[in-house]
A and B are shown apart, each in its own frame.
Chain A
Amino acid sequence: DGGITQSPKYLFRKEGQNVTLSCEQNLNHDAMYWYRQDPGQGLRLIYYSQIVNDFQKGDIAEGYSVSREKKESFPLTVTSAQKNPTAFYLCASRSTGGFAKNIQYFGAGTRLSVL
């Protein structure tokens, strides 16, 4: 099983609390992504990073923040400004070379619920 590890599997957030979702990859991929998955809406892009120390907002970045201090790690913080955080969050990384170029590989996800 491999490549991209997300933790924790389940996370609960109290009102007004910031929580951080972890994403680690050992695939040596430069690009990493965070998606939010809601029933009936598919996956929507929150943030992405093409390289260390750089990241860009996706379609639904409001209420979220990220950092990319290491190639292997791309943590996502769900801030108190995100009013509807209950969702399934998926992290992915993208291969940039060889036969697998441009394929995104996904983690197992973190399910976030609000208490």
Chain B
Amino acid sequence: AQRVTQPEKLLSVFKGAPVELKCNYSYSGSPELFWYVQYSRQRLQLLLRHISRESIKGFTADLNKGETSFHLKKPFAQEEDSAMYYCAASGSARQLTFGSGTQLTVLP
């Protein structure tokens, strides 16, 4: 079965500290991986995806096929990064399978 796992429901870090949100996937074939973010009172939106290999708002994510992971990282967290983060995978049918989400809180 296709599955995306985010082991941390809640994650708190201090401003300026590095942050890593973990994501592991179990998928047949070669899925496309995404990170979506939901800020307070805003709609769910794409943060980044693995095929773009880009940094958005200082976040990066590297696809590790050997470990089937797609962890999201930022070297220096900011208070405005506080949000709910979802990892998602898309297979050949283009449906998204979401992880259960990680609520990130960046403390001042």
Chain B residues with CB below 8 A from A109, complex form:
43
Q: Mark B94-108, 1 if CB is under 8 A from A, else 0.
A: 111111110000000
Chain A, interface residues (CB within 8 Å), range: 20 to 34
Complex: A94 Cα to B44 Cα, angstroms: 14
Are B43 and A106 touching (Cβ within 8 A)? Answer: yes
Chain A contacts to B: CB under 8 angstroms = 31, 33, 35, 40-45, 48, 50, 58, 90, 94, 102-109
The 7 closest A-B pairs by CB, nearest first: A42-B100, A106-B44, A43-B98, A42-B98, A108-B43, A42-B101, A106-B43
Chain B contacts to A: CB under 8 angstroms = 6, 9, 32, 34, 43-46, 49, 86, 90, 94-101
A-B contacts, 10 listed (Cβ < 8 Å): A35-B98, A41-B100, A42-B86, A48-B95, A50-B94, A58-B95, A102-B32, A103-B34, A104-B46, A106-B43
